[in-house]
Amino acid sequence: MEKNIFEQIRDGDAKSDIVYKDEYVTAFHDIDPSAPIHILIIPNKKIDTLNDITEEDSIYLSKILISAKNIAKQFKIDDTGYRLITNCNKDGGQEIEYLHFHLVGGVRLGKMISLPKDSKKIFKKFTESNN
């Protein structure tokens, strides 16, 4: 089976600007950044999506969170603020089938999600019907 780009980076088969690596996680600069600081953090075990994590994967997730905190400090955004984001599946914005987290910062971040007015009306109806 052919490795995807994150597997290639993790295994050293593809060039990347790695900022941190240990036995549990690999972190590297995003090639198409959305903020001045945009680091991708992946578990060294391939997990397809957030839906696929198991109890046994908890060590990877805790190491990702600790790594994110340390990387934010390394890039001096720990005091000013940052976001750690993961997307799950196509409609959630996940483009690569490998669980990964985006550490973004270095600029004042806006709202988490900004929806057009028409979408907000649909969202309001959806939430009202599901309560």
Active site residues: 100
Helix (H, G, I), strand (E, B) or coil at 21: strand
Task: Note the Cα 62 to chain centre separation in Å.
Answer: 14
Decide: 46 and 4 in contact? Cβ < 8 Å: no
Cα–Cα dist 39/20, whole Å: 10
Tokens of 41: 């953090």
Cα–Cα dist 35/91, whole Å: 22
Decide: 96 and 6 in contact? Cβ < 8 Å: yes
Cα–Cα dist 21/62, whole Å: 14
